[in-house]
Amino acid sequence: MHIKEGRPEVLEDTKRVLWHYSAGQPGPVLVLLVGMHGNEPAGVKAVKKISENQEFFHGRFYGDVYAIAGNLKALEQGVRFIDTDLNRLWELFNTQKDYSNKNGAMKPVEYLESLEIKRVIDAIIARHSDNLEDIVFADLHTTSSQSCAFILLNDTLANRKLAGNFPVPQILGIEENIQGTLLSFINNLGFRALGFEAGAHNDEISIIRSEAFLYLLLNYAGNTVLKNAEERKYRDIIEVYENVPNTYYEVIHHKLVDDPAVFQMIKGFENFLPVDKGTALAYENGSLIRAPKSGRIFMPLYQKKGHDGFLIIREVSPFWLEVSGYLRRSSIHRLLRFLPGVTKTGSRSFEVDLNIARFLVKDIFHLLGYRVTEKNEFTLICYRR
């Protein structure tokens, strides 16, 4: 892993670093990200509550925990973002579209926010560079619709292992649909990273669930040891509704919205609600949008900011996950380049010509833990996470 020079002084900025608690000796390093969206204060409030309860950890705390505030400007105003979504621009770093290349042009407020956050992350990584495999990130959010708590993760075995401790639905591979998230950026640095979604933006329960998630995460990451009764209490708080199986899900459809001003979800779609193919879901520019597939509705957009109209997810069988875990640890990867239409383009990447390899290609690469994105209509890019 490449370690950037860290500037330790950025860790003293108490506006950005909301909480740092240290046992003063090596141990797990948990990095919490809160308020990446300014209209999602639940994570910020939960961190504040825990940080004020430090006697709770007295004599049973190991390693370090940091909490970093996300979009400070947007949090001040209580809006999702000011100029552009802070949680969609992390793929731009060091690319043609990097805002820093726009000499003289007005840069979005969020670009500066992202640079500051990146500096803090670099400083934490540099400070704990002798302990890199113990660093874990978690990003706390809420949704615009009513929802039970759930976890988002990039589908790596290390992430699955950590996420599997929590009694909530786990959504795999979201990064293939929603690009440029901080979570993916961190995963690409090689660290474990989980996203936690606590519930609706302004529900009191979202703060309570975020707090419970954080205590459990501190426990499962190894920063503290909860008593059995405490662990049970926090698990009960985040536990999902009976009608939402607490299992793994994958995204099977993603409705992108160009202009959220002309997109209107039909009322009443709670997150995870089962929908049949053909169900009327939304209006865009006056025309009706129906579900193209059966599954469960996921993250329906009930606010006028953001470009993800809704997603449809479906359960993944635990058997399939077992098989994929086994295969990923095997040496089968070496055989992929012999598949028809598959070209090796790097040590961890392949291109797939869909004119030749029509069937099952995406499934095979998913199974083996590759991130699959479309280069164009005829070509897939598969990258090993």
Q: How far apart are the first and last CA of the chain?
A: 14
**Shortest reach from residue 76's CB to Zn ion, in Å:** 16
Sole binder of Zn ion in the list 16, 128, 141, 366 (CB under 5 A): 141
* Region from 12-20, 34-42, 88-96, 180-188 binding Zn ion, contact rule CB under 5 A: 34-42
Shorter beta-carbon distance to Zn ion: residue 87 or 324 = 87
Strand order in the sheet with 274-275: 17-22, 64-69, 29-34, 135-143, 192-200, 150-153, 170-172, 248-256, 308-315, 295-298, 274-275
* Region from 15-23, 35-43, 108-116, 210-218 binding Zn ion, contact rule CB under 5 A: 35-43
128 part of the interface to Zn ion, by CB under 5 A: no
SS (H, E, C) 308-338: EEEEEEEECCHHHHHHHHHHHHCCHHHHHHH
37 part of the interface to Zn ion, by CB under 5 A: yes
Binding-site residue total for Zn ion (CB under 5 A)? 3
**Shortest reach from residue 170's CB to Zn ion, in Å:** 17
Shorter beta-carbon distance to Zn ion: residue 19 or 196 = 196
**Shortest reach from residue 310's CB to Zn ion, in Å:** 15
Strands 263-265 vs 280-284: parallel, antiparallel or unpaired: antiparallel
Shorter beta-carbon distance to Zn ion: residue 37 or 192 = 37
Site map (CB under 5 A) of Zn ion, residues 39-78, x = contact? -x--------------------------------------
Please name which of 143, 249, 137, 144 lies closest in space to residue 198, comparing C-alpha atoms.
Answer: 143
User: With left for phi above 0 and alpha for psi between -120 and 50, is residue 341 left, alpha or beta?
Assistant: left
**44 CB-near residues (< 8 Å, 6+ apart):** 18, 34, 35, 69, 75
Shorter beta-carbon distance to Zn ion: residue 303 or 349 = 303
Look up tokens 């925990």; give the residue.
65
Shorter beta-carbon distance to Zn ion: residue 76 or 276 = 76
Shorter beta-carbon distance to Zn ion: residue 141 or 366 = 141
Q: Which residues bind Zn ion (CB under 5 A)?
A: 37, 40, 141
